[in-house]
Amino acid sequence: MITRTDSPRQIPDWQNQLANAIRSVEELLRFVSLTSRDTSDLLRDCDDFPVRVPYAYARRIQSGQADDPLLLQVLPLMQESLSVPGYSLDPVADTDQMPVPGLLHKYHGRVLLTLTGACAIHCRYCFRRHYPYAEANPCGPSWQASLDYISEHNDIEEVILSGGDPLTLSDQRLTSISQELSAIPHLKRLRLHTRLPVVIPDRINAQLTSWLRDCRLQTIVVLHVNHANELDETTRIAFERLRGATDALLNQSVLLKGVNDQVETLACLSQRLFEQGVLPYYLHCLDPVAGGAHFDLPYQRIDDLWKQLQALLPGYLLPRLVREIAGKPSKLPYNTINQA
Ligand SMILES: *Cc1c(COP(=O)(O)O)cnc(C)c1O
Ligand code: SF4
């Protein structure tokens, strides 16, 4: 908790916003003027993945709208506690492809580091909500082993900083991590998978952009936006700063029942992203994570949606609709789902 005695000059504003996020169902419902909503279908006891919503994001939830698409991403429903066959703790078998704790090497030429378990927001459908971050932290004692692994594999050209959310780390930490990575001669690109520029747009401050600009490696930032209502003037400013500092600004979304499972919603998302200088990259079919089944859609519905979207948008606004199948050498086109 940040107290009044802390000097505001020492704590960047975004860290205050992170520390002062909404942390309970009651506070969330009060903030969005839904105190009279029936709460019998809400989950109270979710200490392993509690409610977390920064005010900067909560302000984009429409007041008094129980089915608001942003609210649905963060409100814990009782359905999360149901055990549904086929929905598991490690849906994409992350922990099978971890040669060093916290370093995932699934695909050719790139490795992913789960740098931290911390996130600015807790998305109820998150496929890493049960990920063993404490044991799988590459920044602890295994950091040197991670650097060694990357150094020894000449074919690795790209490192993806992920989590959790890598932008919950301080700019000093990020700078020192990227300096060590930059010293590995065969590395060419550094990619960030982050939702922070959307959730707390003030995270994109001068220190962060100068870090990205000064990095020896080419940088790619992949955002995570699921609905056009997440985009406003604050994100426009943050993305503009990012665009001035990175080589590519992309977005990945998750297809979510009740949130963005209408063709108009998906088309509008692509258009609004492009207006803010972001290209759609992936639209992920939900990974079958325990607690997320109520966000999933039947294959036929996904197929219909996709065909309509394809007929509506120019190719460059169409994200690749993909699905991750454990053990496959890449994310796969959605229409391989049936055969999986
Ligand atoms: C999704 C993912 C990547 C990135 O895949 P791209 O197709 O390059 O975006 C890399 N490593 C792991 C472990 C992943 O899950
Ligand atoms: S920001 Fe990403 S990693 Fe964090 S809870 Fe949301 S989906 Fe999961």
CB 302 within 8 A of CB 285: yes
| Ligand 2 center to 112 CA (angstroms) | 15
The predicted model scores a pTM of: 0.95
Mind giving me the DSSP string for 269-285? HHHHHHHTT-EEEEEEP
For the Cβ of 126 lying below 6 angstroms from any atom of ligand 2, the answer is: yes
Phi and psi for 69 in degrees, rounded to 5?
A: -65, -20
Residue nearest to ligand 1 atom 1, measured at CA: 331
| Pairing, β 320-323 against β 110-114 | unpaired
* Residue 52 region by backbone torsions, left for phi larger than 0, else alpha for psi between -120 and 50, else beta: beta
Gap from CA of 107 to ligand 1 centroid (Å): 7
Would the CB of 193 count as within 6 Å of ligand 1? no
| 236 within 8 A of 276, measured Cβ to Cβ | yes
User: Can you give the residue ranges of every domain in the chain?
Assistant: 9-81, 94-336
Residue 322 Cα: closest atom of ligand 1: 7
Q: What is the CATH number of domain 94-336?
A: 3.20.20.70
Using the structure block, give the residue that is written with the tokens 């690749």: 320
* Peptide bond between residue 327 and the one before it cis (omega within 30 degrees of 0): no
Choice from 95, 107, 127, 188 to test ligand 1 binding pocket (greatest atom count within 8 A of CB) = 107
pLDDT tens, residue order, the chain (340 aa): 444 454 545 788 999 999 999 999 999 999 999 999 999 999 987 888 999 999 999 999 999 999 999 999 999 999 999 999 999 999 888 888 999 999 999 999 999 999 999 999 999 999 888 888 878 887 778 899 999 999 999 999 999 999 899 999 999 999 999 999 999 999 999 999 999 999 999 999 999 999 999 999 999 999 999 999 999 999 999 999 999 999 999 999 999 999 999 999 999 999 999 999 999 999 999 999 999 999 999 999 999 999 999 999 999 999 999 999 999 999 999 988 654 4
Report the nearest atom of ligand 2 relative to the CA of 122: 5
